[in-house]
């Protein structure tokens, strides 16, 4: 049952990254490329009916984590307390930036909330990439100091950064050069993803420019992915051992690079949705490749005193996991029905939605 719930959790997180990821990317596009009121309205129209529903996947993932892997939930929510609070505030400012902008028709008011929406989206993309970097790198479980565990084996706490900015220091920070690299990859990837969503859902005058942005940023993304794969050996001596032991797992890197290389043809796509499809493949493949590489670990330990947290030593009781399947099946049906109706109602281009107008 542990494996079943792990797959459920990772699937929900992948859906969240793909769906709310285009919201973040649209916010970044809004911050840097939307120069006219018409461009800004096109972007907010593209995501307006969807963004709040997309965020539900994050809440639902947290619920599954709490139910199925309570020890990991407790460990992560205490150890990553600072960045989680920052993410919470960024989600709030991003939401109120969208909702409050149209309440008062004043230039300064609109600029403030435009910046709040764009900057919050940018920092959310960065912090979620940094979070993935922390999971890959691992944490100092038990807060080991000079070879002695000072806390319980599953407990840790990280400051935002340490003085050395190194991912190999004994006392780690949330942000170091490795996690920041993955954060930048997150920003670039979601910018591409958001641009593809805007192209898919609007006939904006921005679209030809956004195709060029996607094409150019894809070179940056490819370079960053190659660099991250090379420096991964610094963090983990055998980063691909799971793929060697189980060749079926290579399907995930294949999906990743199919999406990545497919985006180089964005200028020639006849259908607007193809770019979004390929960026979705990259995000899904990148996330699943990462978690497959560390499986069954869910939070590696950077010291030799306390063991890694795995899906087996952080899971709830077998009975609870079994009973939860029935309730999950009901919830899954309801979610599928809801999103089917939502995306059917708002299918096609969204130029005339008029989201946020008062």
80-103 pLDDT tens trace:
888 889 999 999 999 888 888 877
The pair of three-digit structure tokens given for residue 46, joined into one six-digit string: 């593209």
Mean predicted confidence (pLDDT) in 238-266? 90
Higher-pLDDT residue of 152, 248: 248
- Is pLDDT of 206 > 60? yes
Number of domains in the chain: 1
Q: Is 136 a domain residue?
A: yes
Mean predicted confidence (pLDDT) in 258-265? 92
Cβ(50)–Cβ(350) under 8 Å?
A: no
Could you give the CA distance from residue 181 to residue 251 in angstroms, rounded to a whole number?
24
Could you give the CA distance from residue 163 to residue 79 in angstroms, rounded to a whole number?
18
- Is pLDDT of 263 > 70? yes
> How many other CB atoms sit within 10 Å of the CB of residue 37?
9
Q: How far is CA 13 from CA 9, 17, 33, 64, 141, in A?
A: 6, 6, 28, 10, 24
Range of the domain at 248: 2-345
Whole-number pLDDT of residue 283: 95
Q: Is 335 a domain residue?
A: yes
Whole-number pLDDT of residue 38: 86
DSSP per-residue letters across 71-111: HHHHHHHHHTHHHHHHHHHHHHHHHHHHHHGGGS--HHHHH
Q: What is the mean pLDDT of the chain?
A: 88
- Is pLDDT of 47 > 70? yes
Q: Report CA torsion sign: 93, 94, 100, 102.
A: positive
**Lowest mean pLDDT across 17-26, 237-246, 257-266:** 237-246
In angstroms, how far is the first alpha carbon of the chain from the final one? 50
Q: Is 95 a domain residue?
A: yes
Q: Is 358 a domain residue?
A: no
Q: How far is CA 97 from CA 49, 125, 298, in A?
A: 15, 16, 34
* Residue-wise pLDDT tens digits, 283-329: 999 999 999 988 889 999 888 888 889 999 888 888 888 888 888 88
Q: pTM for the complete prediction?
A: 0.91
Q: Is 56 a domain residue?
A: yes
Whole-number pLDDT of residue 216: 94
Whole-number pLDDT of residue 268: 83
Could you give the CA distance from residue 348 to residue 272 in angstroms, rounded to a whole number?
11
Q: Is 352 a domain residue?
A: no
- Is pLDDT of 346 > 90? no
Q: Is 350 a domain residue?
A: no
Mean predicted confidence (pLDDT) in 207-217? 92
Contacts of 356 (CB under 8 A, 6+ apart): 44, 48, 98, 99, 101, 102
Q: Is 271 a domain residue?
A: yes
Whole-number pLDDT of residue 357: 60
Whole-number pLDDT of residue 261: 94
Could you give the CA distance from residue 56 to residue 48 in angstroms, rounded to a whole number?
15
Whole-number pLDDT of residue 316: 85
User: How buried is 91 (Cβ within 10 angstroms: 0-12 exposed, 13-18 middle, 19+ buried)?
Assistant: middle
Give the containing element (helix H, strand E) for 309.
strand 309-310
* Residue-wise pLDDT tens digits, 113-159: 889 999 999 999 999 999 999 999 888 888 888 877 778 888 888 88
């Amino acid at each position: 049952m542990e494996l079943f719930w792990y797959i459920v959790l990772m699937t929900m997180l992948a859906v969240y990254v793909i769906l709310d990821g285009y919201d973040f990317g649209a916010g970044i596009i809004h911050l840097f490329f939307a120069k006219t009121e018409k461009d800004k309205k096109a972007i907010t129209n593209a995501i307006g009916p969807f963004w709040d529903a997309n965020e539900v996947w994050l809440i639902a993932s947290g619920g599954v984590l709490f139910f199925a892997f309570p020890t990991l939930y407790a460990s992560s929510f205490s150890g990553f307390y600072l960045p989680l609070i920052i993410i919470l505030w960024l989600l709030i400012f991003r939401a109120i930036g969208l909702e409050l902008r149209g309440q008062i028709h004043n230039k300064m008011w609109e600029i403030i909330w435009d910046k709040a929406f764009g900057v919050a989206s940018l920092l959310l993309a960065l912090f979620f990439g940094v979070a993935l970097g922390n999971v890959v790198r691992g944490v100092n479980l038990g807060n080991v100091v000079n070879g002695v565990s000072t806390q319980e084996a599953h407990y840790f706490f990280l400051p935002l950064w340490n003085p050395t900015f190194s991912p190999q220091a004994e006392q780690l920070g949330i942000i170091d050069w490795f996690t920041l690299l993955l954060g930048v990859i997150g920003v670039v990837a979601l910018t591409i993803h958001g641009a593809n969503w805007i192209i898919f859902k609007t006939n904006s005058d921005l679209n030809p420019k956004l195709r060029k942005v996607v094409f150019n940023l894809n070179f940056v993304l490819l370079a960053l992915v190659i660099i991250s794969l090379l420096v991964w050996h610094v963090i983990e001596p055998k980063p691909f051992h799971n793929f060697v032991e189980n060749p079926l797992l290579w399907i995930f890197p294949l999906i990743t690079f199919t999406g990545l290389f497919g985006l180089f043809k964005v200028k020639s796509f006849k259908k607007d949705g193809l770019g979004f499809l390929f960026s979705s493949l990259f995000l899904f493949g990148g996330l699943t490749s990462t978690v497959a590489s560390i499986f069954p670990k869910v939070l590696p330990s950077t010291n030799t005193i306390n063991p890694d947290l795995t899906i087996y030593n952080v899971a709830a009781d077998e009975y609870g996991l079994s009973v939860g399947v029935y309730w999950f099946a009901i919830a899954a049906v309801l979610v599928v029905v809801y999103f089917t109706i939502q995306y059917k109602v708002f299918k096609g281009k969204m130029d005339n939605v008029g989201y946020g107008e008062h």
